[in-house]
Structure 1
Amino acid sequence: MNQDALESDADSGQDMTEFNWDDHLEETGALSVPHHAFKHMDQGLQTGLTPGMKLEVPARGEPDGAYWVATIITTCGQLLLLRYEGYHDDRRADFWCDVITADLHPIGWSRQQGRPMRPPEGVREKHQDWESLLEKSLSESGSAPANLLEGAQRGCNPVDLLSPGLSVELVDKEDAEVVWGAVIEDNVGGRLRLRYAGTDGLSDTHSITWSFYLNPLLHLPGWAKEHGCTLRPPSVLLPLRTKEEWDEVRQAITDQPQDANISEEFYKDRPAISPHCFSEGMKLEAVDPVAPFTISPASVVKVFNDQFFLVRMDDMREEAERKGGSRLFVCHRDSPGILPAQWSFKNGVKLSPPLGYQGQDFDWADYLKQCEAEPAPQHCFPSDPSDQCFKESMMLEAVNPVCPQNIHVATVTKVKGQHIWIRLEGMKQPVPEIITHMDSMDIFPVSWCETNGYPLQYPRKPKVEKQKKIAVVQPERHRVPAKDSAPDALKQPLNSQTEMSQTNGKYSCPKIYFNHRCFSGPYLNKGRIAELPQCVGPGNCVLVLKE
């Protein structure tokens, strides 16, 4: 595959129109993949403060700055809906506050600081013995953690904690027992641009890698030492520095300080890795990581532990004929891109034979006999969930696997099990569809780039000047009031009908339009706004609002 073909046409010199998702979906007649289909998106929006946690807040209306206990009812990003202790199920006094700007503290803070504690007037009316209520609240567990209400982590979600300049550790893609350090250069909505430690001044080709923050191979400083892993730079970087220079960088990685508070928030939303049952020598099918347009036979060549194992794409060529080395990649049980043998045949998908395979038609039975190997059992792979949100012709945004700094407008062209084939738009030349998993962290809902201020690669078309519309204003005509020709006997029924229609009109809702192009701000999700209809109504007010 030509590298130029996988690059976008963004640098074309033509005068191009600006891209708008609403217009593009309307022109193509396509639907966007629902926002909730991207499971990795919403996890990073939580601040760690959850419903049921208790904290201390100023008691409204109290002149001496007294505080009182409140419970978190619900959260929306950094916004909290609170209810004073003592109101129980009464929602009338609930109030919203911003965790960044509000005066919030963990349980026990007021007494430590010598501040008075007294409930607002509404609670005092309900509870004459409010001192007992206070003591009961202070003795119960469930306080919001102090680090989430005070200090640098106040109101921060896990994504916000990973700021540029922070050091991390990356497990080697070809060896789960090897780790190397990296520094975050940019954080785009949880998608991290990382520079390997010790590569300052070197070309970005091998020095830069991209990773979503939930990647199970990404860790905080100190993880390698704690788990007994070897600190070694990726093999492609080794020749670029002397041994002494790498030793110096290795020592700097080892000396990186650890932050327990960040560590707790970083790992709490990380999906748990299930134990696998793969063993060395098992055969399977896999999406080729070097050319993610094909599915080919592969083998388990090493088992590191009960979580990780190493897969290699099968290559039957002579050693001297192999260019670029073996195609190895670390996997776990739920890794996208690994499939049981015969999966392609059962799903009507083309299976590319191993490089160097002698024969016209590939047959798994003959191949297993030739290799004297056994296929990985079906139970080694996770079962496919019944609910699928991805449909053919739906649109989304996807990372270009060969140029990972580029995110493209993309179209789903095929759905098979939990894998989808997507066509990247905005390419210089047509390229084969990319094969990826529905849970891939390299696909995003429409408008994700716009929401995070990142450039989107889109299909370009020449700019067309629209004809200006000229409004013609007609001269106002003077109307002559019509004579009242209705008999007096009919006036009363007509008047009563008019009054009735006006009365019913109070409950009639006109058509409501949704502006999909508006600036959504930090609290509204652009992808979910895009899922709203163009308009609702008119009709009964209650029914329209429900719709």
Structure 2
Amino acid sequence: DAGSGVEEMEFNWDEYLEDTGATAAPHGSFKHVDTSLQNGFAPGMKLEVAVKSDQNTYWVATIITTCGQLLLLRYDGYGEDRKADFWCDIMTADLHPIGWCEQNKKILKVPEGIKEKIADQEQFLQQVLKGACSAPANLLEGLHRGKNPLDLIAPGSRLELQNFQDSLEAWIVNVVENVGGRLQLRYEGLEDSDKFDQWIFYLDPFLHQVGWAAQQGYDLKPPLAIRSLKSEADWQEILKKVKEEEEESSVPTDLFKDKPVIGVHSFSEGMKLEAVDPLAPFVISPATVIRVYDDKYFMIEIDDLRPERTTSQSYICHVNSAGIFPVQWSLKNGLHLSPPLGYPGQDFDWADYLKQCGAEAAPQSCFPMLTSDHGFKENMKLEAVNPVDPEEVCIATVTKVKGSYLWLQLEGCKKPIPDCIVSMESMNIFPVGWCETNGYQLRPPRKAIVNKQKKIAVVQPEKQILSSRTVHDGLKNQELNSSDSVVINGKYCCPKIYFNHRCFSGPYLNKGRIAELPQSVGPGNCVLVLKEVLTLLINAAYKPSRVLRELQLDEEAAWHGHGETLKAKYKGKSYRATVEVVRTADRVADFCRKTCIKLECCPNLFGPQMVLDKCSENCSVLTKTKYTHYYGKRKNKRIGRPPGGHSNLEVAMKKPNKRRKRRKHFFVHKKKRPSTSVDNTPAGSPQGSGAEEEDDQDESELSHSLAQDRDKRKRKLRTFSFSDDENKPPSPKEIKIEVAEKLQLDSNPLEWSVSDVVRFLKSTDCAPLARIFLDQEIDGQALLLLTLPTVQECMDLKLGPAIKLCHHIERVKLAFYQQFAN
């Protein structure tokens, strides 16, 4: 697709939420995702631990709390006394499941601190271990030690999947891929075909460990959809082979302990209800219970009154299945109920329909109470599976909320679909950022601006350097081939814009990055082509934010073209500004030349003209240290740094004594730089590097004395202000005082809520960062796990503020170990 280079840009959730003004659905609303992140250990579990004072003896300990791969333990016998609680790392500590000492002839001995409390060791152990839950052995020993249980479902593992359309039979499936608990499953016997693959979350009630069907008394048979692909003998042979290899590919049974438990239902055959077809969840329709298997499972069918129908939409349900409602549910919630196919007339009435069918409505007591305790609201964003193509995960917008159901509009699907009806308990919806976290492709939204006729063709540069003649001949052919489109679009069609990377790139643009750009962009609509060119140039700069400021529309300049908002990212901060772009083809060459002059590079660096062997400007003799001469700068200017204002050849020649232009309004809070050399820059608002701040102060004229120039700089600095008083950085003196103070905590940081963490930060000189902790929902446990690299990466902080923040975190850790750990 010719336009894909422009349309399918890298997707960023933060920018998307900012552009749409939407909010993300809260992470706590996705219970299945929270469960998948747990490490398999839970408070209350017991294990056998080496006694610190005597490494050859062990004693029983209880898990008090978990924090990643750290466990807070308390020896049994201390009761509620927490003074001897201690932390252990699963990967390094000598930890074992209950019964390990007995099996390995190791000694269980009461630790010194509680010897007096325990008179009879044997009797005490019998008492505390009665009905106790041992920590999972597979997570304490062997290859799986310290691993997240989810990682144990590796590709090649085997599971049993219930048929959810035909009958209660099940069949073996192989795990092809595990994406954060979302499994791509392939039916055993179809190793070479992905046509019938299923995508299911590992906690789905229809997915079980191998052996489940035999335990429950169900048959192991392939589903009807694939049964005809092989003979009965072949399927039996496959089953025999699987049973022989069962040990190698089995998944630990305790992995499914968090699966929802299926309750007992009270439906009977012939009952009517309202239902959503799980394979096409777009409408609510009348449905009938057509079969009851046992007290757990029953089959329903979407009603279809057409006499000529050949297929039926039936599927197996249990009492907690999503998408089944009592009669009149749609009416009570103000929703449209889609009449059965073949129903005479448009106005559907349940009373008439029940009388006509001679059926009864399923009573309200058959349906579980719907929860309304959730955090979903209209217009919130999340990630959701496309029900038509379950391999796709798309951006979803909540368009409606009714009871415990959401109506989701999916963006970026290969084929557009209506709003989907999804339960809030569904395991096919995920929080914002889930795909990125798990390395899975999220379908990006389609850009409405670019249409089929106006796509930009991006031609990648050739790997080898071609001779000028070859390039020239190729270019002629390209021009001939594209001549039709130029005629069709007339004066608004931009010709190809070439990046001539051998030309002088100036002080702002990185020559290496310019060389990596496409050979050309276009032809196409002028505004679209030039916007793409400018975006590529901004991203090829040493400091993208600086180039954006140079290109920004000067408010004093005459308006001749079309204003486009461009963005730049620099050091984790986002910048945006309005840039003037010409709309007609006759002005493109002049626009490109003037933009080059603004950026102080060769006027032929990019434009409609392709430079073959030698640039007409003879720019090859220039280097980064000679650009001042090229653009007619005064000799007293510092060499080697890009100048601050616009000073190109034309301006310098016309007005040699013109003072620096008034600074443009750049939509970024800039920070006041303190007069001392200490870096007290608070994080929180976008900024450039130190050199960039100095660039902003490039003033000096020959006629001014040094003292006057310094005064002017001070006045200029005073015009910058902080966004609020909280952001004012403390003086070095204040910092020294705080460092010297020993921190005394009133409560255990492990029990701190997000609000407690924010309250603590606001009492330090890192108060401006409190908002980040609130947004990221960092509580006390998470705070204790933060390190300098994590803080820098995840919070996009500069080194100075990150070090300060980590200093306070280390103080909390130290106080925690001194006051609470022992």
1:89-104, aligned counterparts within 5 Å?
89-91=80-82, 93-104=84-95
1:230 to 214, 219, 230: 219
CA contact (8 A) 2:205 2:259 kept: yes
Rg larger for:
2
Residue 262 to residue 468, structure 1, CA distance change in 2 (3 Å):
closer
Residue deviations 1:250-308 (CA, integer Å, cap 9, x gap): 43345553699955403422221111111111111111234211111111100000111
CA–CA distance in structure 1, aligned partners of residues 233 and 102 of structure 2: 56
1:241-320, aligned counterparts within 5 Å?
241-253=230-242, 255=244, 257=246, 262=251, 264-319=253-308
- 2:169 equivalent in structure 1: 178
| TM-score normalised by length of structure 2 | 0.54
How far the C-alpha of 1:512 sits from its partner, in A, is 1.3
Amino acid aligned to 1:388: H
CA–CA distance in structure 1, aligned partners of residues 427 and 189 of structure 2: 27
1:138-537, aligned counterparts within 5 Å?
138-139=125-126, 140-141=128-129, 142=132, 144-145=134-135, 147-148=137-138, 149-202=140-193, 204-206=194-196, 208-253=197-242, 255=244, 257=246, 262=251, 264-319=253-308, 321-322=309-310, 325-428=311-414, 430-461=416-447, 464-465=535-536, 466=538, 468-469=545-546, 471=692, 473=694, 474=697, 508-509=764-765, 510-512=767-769, 514=772
Residue 402 to residue 254, structure 1, CA distance change in 2 (3 Å):
same
| TM-score normalised by length of structure 1 | 0.79
Q: Of Structure 1 and Structure 2, which has the larger fraction of its residues in helix?
A: 2
Extract unaligned runs of 5+ from structure 1: 1-8, 480-498, 525-531
Partner-residue secondary structure (3-state), 2:275 = strand
1:80 to 51, 71, 80: 71
Residue 44 to residue 15, structure 1, CA distance change in 2 (3 Å):
closer
How far the C-alpha of 1:424 sits from its partner, in A, is 0.8
Amino acid aligned to 2:426: S
Residue 94 to residue 12, structure 1, CA distance change in 2 (3 Å):
farther
How far the C-alpha of 1:433 sits from its partner, in A, is 0.6
Residue 101 to residue 163, structure 1, CA distance change in 2 (3 Å):
farther
Amino acid aligned to 1:191: R
Q: Of Structure 1 and Structure 2, which has the larger fraction of its residues in strand?
A: 1
- 1:490 equivalent in structure 2: none
- 2:792 equivalent in structure 1: none
Amino acid aligned to 1:188: V
Amino acid aligned to 1:104: L
Comparing both chains, which one has the higher relative contact order based on Cα–Cα distances under 8 Å and sequence gaps of 6 or more? Answer: 1
Residue 468 to residue 367, structure 1, CA distance change in 2 (3 Å):
same
How far the C-alpha of 1:42 sits from its partner, in A, is 2.3
Partner-residue secondary structure (3-state), 1:512 = helix
Extract unaligned runs of 5+ from structure 2: 451-531, 539-543, 547-643, 645-691, 699-705, 712-732, 742-762, 777-781, 787-794, 813-822
CA contact (8 A) 2:47 2:62 kept: yes
Amino acid aligned to 1:414: K
How far the C-alpha of 1:12 sits from its partner, in A, is 3.5
Residue 351 to residue 108, structure 1, CA distance change in 2 (3 Å):
closer
CA–CA distance in structure 2, aligned partners of residues 442 and 145 of structure 1: 30
Residue 69 to residue 368, structure 1, CA distance change in 2 (3 Å):
closer
Amino acid aligned to 2:195: T
CA contact (8 A) 1:82 1:96 kept: yes
Is 1:58 aligned to 2:50, yes or no?
yes
Partner-residue secondary structure (3-state), 2:353 = helix
Partner-residue secondary structure (3-state), 2:96 = coil
How far the C-alpha of 1:185 sits from its partner, in A, is 0.9
Is 1:105 aligned to 2:96, yes or no?
yes
CA contact (8 A) 2:282 2:420 kept: yes
CA contact (8 A) 2:60 2:75 kept: yes
CA contact (8 A) 1:49 1:144 kept: no
Amino acid aligned to 1:174: Q
CA–CA distance in structure 2, aligned partners of residues 108 and 439 of structure 1: 38
CA contact (8 A) 2:268 2:292 kept: yes
CA–CA distance in structure 2, aligned partners of residues 303 and 342 of structure 1: 23
CA–CA distance in structure 2, aligned partners of residues 147 and 304 of structure 1: 37
How far the C-alpha of 1:398 sits from its partner, in A, is 0.3
CA–CA distance in structure 2, aligned partners of residues 107 and 283 of structure 1: 52
Farther-moved stretch of structure 1 (375-384 vs 171-180): 171-180
CA contact (8 A) 2:339 2:346 kept: no
How far the C-alpha of 1:117 sits from its partner, in A, is 6.4
How far the C-alpha of 1:15 sits from its partner, in A, is 5.5
Kindly tell me the number of residue pairs found equivalent between the two proteins: 491
Residue 156 to residue 307, structure 1, CA distance change in 2 (3 Å):
farther
Residue 287 to residue 95, structure 1, CA distance change in 2 (3 Å):
same
CA–CA distance in structure 2, aligned partners of residues 100 and 500 of structure 1: 41
How far the C-alpha of 1:367 sits from its partner, in A, is 1.5
CA–CA distance in structure 2, aligned partners of residues 176 and 52 of structure 1: 40
